[in-house]
Amino acid sequence: MLVKFFDPHPGFGGAVIALPSDIKAIIDAFDGKKAELADILLALGKVPKAACWANLEHCYISCRIVNNGYTHQWRLIRWTDVTDDANVD
């Protein structure tokens, strides 16, 4: 599915720990870009200990990391379906 990514997580605030820098770098690289949804999920899938998924109903990607018995979860980035939005350029 071809989408355009926007509204990336700022990398801080809200969570007990900051968003890991390797995840932040990936979502920043996709921000404002058109790409296949699978592309960002493949990139995030290479991050150790991270479980990331797309919420197709609400058009965002989440990620969860369990570390020392604690679970941390973030809403990483949102997207719009390119076919639904004529103004995504």
- Which structural domain range is residue 45 located in? 2-84
Q: What is the pLDDT of residue 85?
A: 55
Q: Is residue 71 part of a domain?
A: yes
Name 47's Cβ contacts closer than 8 Å, sequence gap at least 6. 20, 22, 23, 26, 63
Length of the chain: 89
Rg (C-alpha) for the chain, rounded Å, is 13
Q: What is the pLDDT of residue 68?
A: 87
Q: What is the pLDDT of residue 14?
A: 63
Name 79's Cβ contacts closer than 8 Å, sequence gap at least 6. 3, 4, 5, 6, 37, 59, 60, 61
Ranges of the chain whose pLDDT falls below 50: none
Q: Is residue 89 part of a domain?
A: no
Q: Is residue 66 part of a domain?
A: yes
- Number of structural domains, the chain? 1
Q: What is the pLDDT of residue 30?
A: 98
Helical residues (DSSP H) of the chain, grouped into ranges: 21-30, 37-44
Q: What is the pLDDT of residue 15?
A: 65
CB count, 10 Å around CB of 66? 12
Q: Is residue 53 part of a domain?
A: yes
